[in-house]
Chains A and B, each alone.
Chain A
Amino acid sequence: MSGLLEIDKLCVWYGPVFALKDATLSVGSGEAVALIGANGAGKSTLFKSIVGFLRPKSGALRFLDRDVTGLRTEQRIRLGVGYSPEGRRVFPGLTVRENLEVAVFAGKAERARRVDRAFSLFPQLATRQEALGWQLSGGQQQMLAIGRALMGQPRLLLLDEPSLGLSPKLADEVLAGIRGIVKDGTSVLLAEQNVGKALACCDRAYVLEVGKIVLAGTAAALRDTEEVKRAFLGG
C-alpha cells in the first residue's frame, strides 16, 4: 500500500491559537480512511491545509510522492485531489449540470461522459439538471458537491462531513456510496462526527482531539477501543 497522501507533523495556527499540532497521517491507494473528532477538533482545518486554503506553519504535505506545500490550490486539485467542502459550497448561480461541467478538464465528449456518470451515481440530480445550485435541497447540494469533487477523476477524495444536515437515511446512502467510489480507484478521506457510521464504511481511522491525533488504527480495532466507545459511541 503506497502512500498516496503523506502528512507529517503538520502544524496550523489561526493567529495566536493552534488548530493542528503535529498531525501525522497517511492515506494509501485503495483505502477509505475516517477522520473523527468532535466540533472544533480540527478536521476541516486539516482538509483546508491539504487543498491549500490554509498555509501550515510547519510540517510536510506530500501527495503522489510530491511535496505540494508550494503549489496553488488548483494545481493540487489537478494532480488528483477532489474536495467536497464542509457546507457544500456549490456554485449558487450555476445549474446542476454546469456545476459538474466546470470541474472537468477534458474534451467535450469526455465531459458529457463524466457528467452522465455523476447522474447515474446520484439519480436525484439527473432530474434537476437545469435547476440552479441555490435552488436544491441541502441533501441534493451535498450530492452535487460530491459529484463535482469526482469530476476530475481524483486519486483522492476529501469528504468533509458529507452527512451534515442529511436525514439519517440519506446519510446512510451517501456513506454507502463511499465503498463504490473506493472500488472505482479513488481513495477517500472522510471527516465525520458520526463515528459509528464512519467506522462502518472505512478501513482505518484517526481520532482528532483539539488539534492532535490521539488514536489511530483499523476501523475494526477502533470500534472496540474503550476511549472511542466512551467518547463517541455512547457505550
Chain B
Amino acid sequence: MITFLQLVINGLALGAAYALVALGFVFIVNATGAVNFAHGDLVMAGGYAAVGLGSLAQIPAVYFLPLVAVIMFVLGVALALLAYFPLINRPPSTVFISTLLCGIILQNAFVVLFGPQAHAAPPLLKSGVAHFGEIEISVQAIGTMVVAAILIASQYLLFTRTQIGRRLRATAEDRQMAQAVGIPAFALIAATFGLGTALAGIAGALLANQFFVYPTGGIPLSVYAYIAVVIGGWGSIAGAVIGAMIISLFQVVVSAYVSYAAATGLLYVTLLLIFVVRPQGIFGERVQRRA
C-alpha cells in the first residue's frame, strides 16, 4: 500500500510538469487551431536554458526561473513569426509540418550548443528528500508541484477574470470576429505563442533536474502533450491538466509493475482507442455552435 501511495505521489509530481507542458500546448491549439509539434523541443529548450544559466551562476533554479520564462516567451513569439504567421491562410497541416521542422532545427541547435550527451539542471531549491512517515518525496518534486499549481491557478485567473484573458479567448474562438470588435488579434496570437512556450520552458527547467535534457528528449513530450489534450477534450484547459496527470500516473504505475516500454506502448494504444471510441475526449465536450 505504501509503495502504491509512493508511486501515486511520484506520478503526481511528474504530472505537474506534464500539466505545464500540456497547458502551453493547448493554449496554442486554442488560439490558432494549429498543433505545435515543436512543443516538446521547446520544453527541452527550457531545460537547456536552465542548464546554461545554472552553469553560469551556481544558484538554485528558482532564482533564474523567471529569466527562463522571459527567454522562452521571446522564442515562442519568434516561432509564431517564423512558422505560423506566414502560413496563416494555409491548411492546419502546413503549420503542423512547419512546427515539426522548427523542432528539428532546435534539436540540431541543441547538439551544436550543448553536445549530444545528457545534462542536468540545478534543482529548484536544493536536492534531497523530505519524509512524510514512510513516504518520501524529493524536494524537487514538491517544488515542481508548487510551481505548477501557482502557474495553473494564475492561468485560470488570467483567462477568466481579466480583460486580456477574455480577449485571448475571443481571439481563439473567432479570430476575424475578434478583430471586428477591435481586438488586435495578431498581437494576441503572438503573445499566446509566447505564453505557451514560456510554460513549456518552465516545465523543461523543472524536469531537467531529475530527468535530464538531451537533444531528442522533446519528441515524446510533444506526443504526451497531444495525448493529454486528446484525453482531456480538444481545447479544454482543465482537461489538458487532468489528461497530463492521467498520463504520468499511468506511466509511473505501469512502469513500476510491468516496464517502461509496456507503459509507453499501452499509452499509444489508449490514444488510438480514444480516437475511435470517444473522439471528443474523456472529459471534453467542445463548445457547440448553433446553426
Assembled-state Cα–Cα distance A101/B185 (Å): 16
Alpha-carbon gap, A20 to B2, bound state (A): 74
What residues of B have a CB within 8 angstroms of the CB of A93 in the complex?
169, 173, 287
Contact in complex: A74, B166 (CB < 8 Å): no
Within 8 Å of chain B (Cβ to Cβ): is A72?
A: yes
Option from B183, B287, B288, B290 in Cβ contact (under 8 Å) with A74: B183
Q: Specify which chain A residues have a CB less than 8 angstroms from the CB of B166 in the assembled complex.
A: 94, 98, 101-102
Q: Which chain A residues in 18-65 approach chain B with CB under 8 Å? A: 51-53
Instruction: Count residues on chain B whose CB falls below 8 Å from chain A CBs.
Output: 21
Any A CB within 8 A of the CB of B176: yes
A183 contacts chain B at the CB level, 8 A cutoff = no
Q: Is A73 a contact of B176 with CB atoms below 8 Å?
A: yes
Interface size on A, residues (CB 8 A): 31
Interface stretch, picked from A84-92, A202-210, A220-228, is A84-92
Tell me if B289 and A92 are in contact (CB < 8 A). yes
Q: Does A211 have its Cβ within 8 Å of any Cβ on chain B? A: no
Known: A73-B180, A74-B184, A83-B180. A91 touches B174 (CB 8 A): yes
CA distance A74 to B179 in the complex (A): 5
Bound-state Cα–Cα, A128 to B182, Å: 24
A83 vs B182: C-alpha distance in the bound complex, in angstroms?
10
Interface residues of A (CB under 8 A from B): 51-53, 72-74, 77-78, 83, 85, 89, 91-94, 98-99, 101-103, 105, 111, 132, 134, 136, 138, 141, 148-149, 151-152
Query: Residues of B with Cβ closer than 8 Å to A?
Result: 163, 166-167, 169-170, 173-174, 176-185, 287-290
5 residue pairs from A and B, CB less than 8 Å apart: A77-B182, A78-B182, A91-B169, A93-B169, A101-B163
